[in-house]
Structure 1
Amino acid sequence: MQHNFLKPYYSLYQRLGCSGELYVNDVLVYSFFGDQTLEGGSTGAVPINNVILESGKYKVVGRMFPRFSKETITEEDYMTLDFHVAEAEGPLGTIKKTRYKFHPRIEQPWDGLSENINYPVFEISTEIEVELPFVLDGWQNSVDLSKMKEEKLFEEVFAFYNQLYLVMESHNAGKYLELSKEKMKLQEQAFYFSEERKGSFLKGAMQLFGQNLEMAPMKKEDLRIQIMGHGKLVRLVRLDGTEALKFKSPDPENQGDVEFEVKLHKRNPQQGFTII
């Protein structure tokens, strides 16, 4: 469906009653794993301008997984995805006022998954078409990492993550932001950040690092590698599905760990990894 927005702002609205992850353009945009999935669920908007990069058609995939400590998905578990576009140009509140559904909802079978089948994973998918006023320089032309030997790739990626771990452990917000500048620039372009919004984002990062939270230990044997973005992106994730890099919660009773989702790419074979 076409729109006449000057600055279209695309998002998914997810409802998850299980563990799960969402992909757009073969890039992870949201995940819900760990002991937080034991009961209840997750609901909220997931902006996607930063992964679609330019106008065109893109595949959206939702994968349902069993809740923490469970082996299969039950007939009570669910996943629904709605697709919204809104106008980002205008005063505060414009996005909320102009948002509309541009694509039909997708979900697990309406009457629930069959109780007679033990699903270790269940996938729903669709194709969306988007119109954007830009073409962002993301990872489209980066090195195809799927052609590297996985053992060598893992070692290189782990070395970079370990560098990030040490930066975070020392609560060096300035260094972390410097290492993340490519990703930040992409997000600023994708979401039409004003100077005020940029300043607010940086202030929030400084405040988070200023809490001097303890890092969750990161061990090789607890991690697995994940290649995405049609072979152009890579990340490490814990075996339980949670992020490799995270601060321990300051209030475990009421708040989960503070997780950092980090994707890497290589612009060319001679260049090292950068965060994107």
Structure 2
Amino acid sequence: MNKLDKPLYTIDPHIYCSATILVNDVAVIERYGDQTIGRSGSIGGIDINNVLLQSGKYTIVGKMFPRKNNKTLIETDTLFIDFYCAEANMDKWKASMYKFHPKIESPWGGLSKNINYPYFEISTEIEVELPFVLDGWQNSVDLSKLDKTVLKEKVLEYYRQIHAILKEHNASKFLELSKEKQKLQEQAFYFSEERKQSFQKSLISLFNQNLDLEPLNENELKLEFMGYGKLVRLMKIDGSYPLQFKSPNPQEQSNVELEIKLHVRSTEKGFSII
């Protein structure tokens, strides 16, 4: 394993289907809905330090589903994931990059021969070495053991609070609610002060557009667990995020979706965004 001062671990998925990719049981990319129609795909690296949290071995899972309007996977539906590590310092990033784990992939011969696959999964285990231990959700309450009906109502109430803040376009309140998540990302990705300020300015700029907010339709929502039961969120039944700013130009860009994951450090403290 190469020694780097500030290692930045990245997965590089090529997705030609509907799919979710999980790292340490946390979804890092989800591709569903209209964007999967036809034969188009999604390509692009995703930094994963923020879901690894510390050195160790972690499971990577790629979940493949049929494209929108299809009931089963077809031969052209494929998924593969490459694994890279590089120095986070951009001056050294390109020269220091190396593959730290073999690629995993779905069968290139296709999945539809003789068997109708409504779902297919690829997975592997990676090992990483990080210079930190982040205070994430490792020691949080296992929410999957709680009463699901009661938990969903409590999570929904928290989402209502966030929705109200977004509707007011109150960036400072949202930043305050999100400070735990921000701190974790700043540590995971070695943010400089300049990068921290840039991130906050981007969010404030989004709020200052005063975009309309999609309604929070409770009948469309389902409860989802991640992080081996220690993270929870609400998702729409169609696979999209419940909290969305409406696009100012739907013909040219989609809605701005905000993914919110919650955890509970202790029953006394209650939910917080992470």
The interval holding the TM-score normalised by the smaller chain is over 0.9
Measure how far apart 1:222 and its partner are. Answer: 0.5
The answer to whether the aligner puts 1:27 opposite 2:15 as a matched pair is no
- Aligned position for 1:199: 197
- Aligned position for 1:181: 179
Alignment of 1:36-185 (within 5 A): 36-39=35-38, 40-89=40-89, 92-185=90-183
Name the CA distance, whole Å, in 2 between partners of 1:23 and 1:272: 25
Measure how far apart 1:93 and its partner are. Answer: 4.3
Q: Is this contact kept in 1: 2:231–2:261, CA < 8 A?
A: yes
Q: Which moved more, 1:151-160 or 1:71-80?
A: 71-80
Q: Is this contact kept in 2: 1:75–1:113, CA < 8 A?
A: yes
Aligned pairs, number = 273
- State, as a whole percentage, how many aligned pairs show the same letter: 56
Which SS does the other structure have where 2:244 is aligned?
strand
Name the CA distance, whole Å, in 2 between partners of 1:30 and 1:170: 28
Runs of 4+ in 1 over 4 A off after TM superposition: none
Q: Deviations over 1:66-117 (max 9, x none)?
A: 112222211111111000100013xx34323322211111111121213332
**Ranges in structure 1 where 5+ consecutive residues have no aligned partner:** none
**Ranges in structure 2 where 5+ consecutive residues have no aligned partner:** none
Q: Which moved more, 1:66-75 or 1:220-229?
A: 66-75
Residues 256/93 of structure 1: CA separation in 2 closer, same or farther (3 Å cut): farther
Q: Is this contact kept in 2: 1:36–1:256, CA < 8 A?
A: no
Q: Deviations over 1:117-169 (max 9, x none)?
A: 22221110000000000001100110010110111111011111111111111
Measure how far apart 1:215 and its partner are. Answer: 1.2
Name the CA distance, whole Å, in 1 between partners of 2:4 and 2:200: 28
Q: Deviations over 1:167-208 (max 9, x none)?
A: 111111111111000000000000000000001100100111
Under a length normalisation based on structure 1, what TM-score does the superposition of the two structures give? 0.96
- Aligned position for 2:257: 259
- Cα RMSD (Å): 1.1
